Structure 1
Amino acid sequence: MDDQRQRAATWFHELRDRIVAAFEALEDRAGGDAAPGRFEVTPTTRANDGGGGIMSVMRGGRVFEKVGVNWSEVHGTLQPAAQKAMAARGVPGIEADPRFWASGISLVAHMQNPHAPAVHMNTRMFWTPGAWWFGGGADLNPCIEYPEDTEHFHRTMQSACDPHDEGYYDRFKAWADEYFFIPHRGRARGVGGIFFDDLNNGDWERDFAFTRDVGSAFLPAFLPLAEARSRQTFSEEDRDTQLIHRGLYAEYNLVYDRGTKFGLETGHNPDAVLMSLPPLAKWV
């Protein structure tokens, strides 16, 4: 399992590098008077136990108002709150041996142009002495929805799922619809995508291959939408709509998101954990 963990961590790092390069290239292509945005890269460490990662954040770009692409590889002993949560999820042996290892990539992009959709993506592997699993997915969060964009995003996600299992897309789309729902608002935070967790079919290579394909599908699913919509003109009313919609994203991530809770409970850098929050938002 040591070799498998290293392969997973290396893949997530390579995906991080690929996305960062693609986003900076998009900034270059956008043109305009403002300088193209560039990522500020900061190593991160954990307050407890070992490991860390890379926090990459771009602010005030031509296309991206704020985007973070984080990679991490962490290990140690679960704190009581996280240990209890894992036990409640049915992780075998976690109460007797709370050691863990985890690696993954997490991305959230908030756009300058209200017509360009915000987006979230992550893929990860988690290990304990009694179990391992993969998780992740991607979901689109337009402030102003275009049905053709939603269709393109979902079609691309389905193309990553179908070669592995023709039932995956329907199953993981439904999971995303449920997971990214905001109960106190009675609505979804976006137009969905796919979400999966606790994926262990007993065949590590099979599950790793699927996780890689989900990660590789992200750029073709999102980049054409970001590039096309960022060229559109927008009004102050459009901007107001964007800021109000961002409030949904902030509420969800602070109240419900499992990854946010886990990162804070395990002592990871809080700036990296809260990277997903929008730079500006508005509530009515």
Structure 2
Amino acid sequence: MNQPFDDRKARAAAWFRDLRDQIVAAFEALEDTQTTGPFATLPPGRFEVTQTTRSAEDGSDAGGGLMSVMRGGRVFEKVGVNISTVYGQLGARAQKAMAARGIPGMESDPRFWASGISLVAHMQNPHCPAVHMNTRMFWTPHAWWFGGGSDLNPCIEYPEDTAHFHAVQKQHCDRHDPAYYPRFKAWADEYFYIPHRQRARGVGGIFLDDHNTGDWEADFAFIQDVGRAFLPAFLPVTEKRRDTPWTEDDRNTQLIHRGLYAEYNLVYDRGTKFGLETGHDANAVLMSLPPLAKWV
């Protein structure tokens, strides 16, 4: 199983890097075209790129990636677009989590490899929704799968924006299987729910994990389309709302909503837990947290 997957791992990692480059370029172009509003006098935002590393328990190299973060831009208050490729052996807690997900044999051969992209954007204008997207591939000697998705997190919801975001997700899912969108939308609604607040984090999108139909090429093509859906789903909404006038009450609503986002990511998010438990760069793992938030 290892030999054919060497090429597949390389193809997946290269795709996540290419998607990262596309998104970074699109977001910097959005900054360049923002010439009105209270932040138009700022220099257009640019990403600061930092290499990240993961060290195994014995101190040996275990992969890493790129953390790309823009702060204080004209459109984005904070946005991160991270990629990573990590590998090594899963610790006891992670092995137990894999066993709970139905993956056998990890105690005898706990090797793993994972690659992916993770994005979170927090906006200057409260009328522009925050957004999250990630896609990933995970491999062990016993199984492989894809996961990820994209979801919209407005503090001030516009139903037409929600409808557009979901329509683009559906269009890209339908290219592969008409059953995918309703299944993965329902999964997102369940996954991005905050039990202790008894409410959803945002207006949803799609979410999937452990995706393995037995056809790696078909599944890889699908996860690429999940990534390709992001820019056409998100950019038109941002372009429509970025010049909407806002008040201090709107800003207060935004900061309180960001508190919900922070609570979810610190308490429930699988990616946060996995990254911290496997020793990845903590700053990269916690990149998703907003620059400012508020609790009542």
Both proteins in one fold, TM over 0.5 = yes
Q: Deviations over 1:226-282 (max 9, x none)?
A: 122111110000000000000000000000000000000000000000000000000
Q: 2:51 aligned with 1:43, yes or no?
A: yes
Distance 2:265 2:14 in 1: 27
Among 181, 196, 200, the residue aligned to 2:212: 200
- Look up the SS of the partner of 2:276 in the other structure: helix
- Structure 1 residues without counterparts, runs of 5 or longer: none
- Runs of 4+ in structure 1 off by over 6 angstroms are none
Give the AA of the match of 1:247. Answer: G
Superposed, 1:139-178 pairs within 5 Å as 139-178=151-190
Query: Following the alignment from structure 1 to structure 2, what is the Cα–Cα distance between the partners of residues 169 and 95?
Result: 35
- C-alpha distance in 1 between matches for 2:247 and 2:136: 38
Segment of structure 1 superposing worse, 221-230 or 139-148: 221-230
CA distance in 2, matches of 1:94, 1:148: 46
* CA positional deviation for 1:93: 1.3
> Counterpart of 1:61?
73
Which runs of 5 or more structure 2 residues have no equivalent in the other structure?
Answer: none
Provide the rounded CA distance (Å) in 2 between the counterparts of 1:118 and 1:165.
28
For residue 184 of structure 1, the aligned residue among 185, 196, 209 is: 196
* 1:212 maps onto 2:224 in alignment: yes
Which amino acid in 1 is paired with 2:32? D
> What's 1:138 paired with?
150
Counterparts of 1:82 and 1:276, CA distance in 2:
22
Tell me the CA shift for residue 47 of structure 1.
2.7
Q: How many equivalent pairs are there?
A: 284
**Which of 102, 118, 127 lines up with 1:106 in the alignment?**
118
Matches within 5 A, 1:81-100: 81-100=93-112
AA matched with 1:96 = S
Q: Deviations over 1:63-102 (max 9, x none)?
A: 0000000000110001111111111111121121110000
CA distance in 1, matches of 2:109, 2:120: 33
Could you tell me which residue of structure 1 aligns to residue 137 of structure 2? 125
TM-superposition CA deviations, 1:97-147 (whole Å, max 9, x none): 110000000000000000000000000000000000000100000010000
Superposition RMSD on alpha carbons, in Å? 0.6
1:13 is aligned to: 17
Correspondence 1:265-284 to 2 at 5 A: 265-284=277-296
Amino acid across the alignment from 2:146:
F
Give me the whole-angstrom Cα distance separating, in 1, the residues matched to 2:42 and 2:292.
Answer: 19
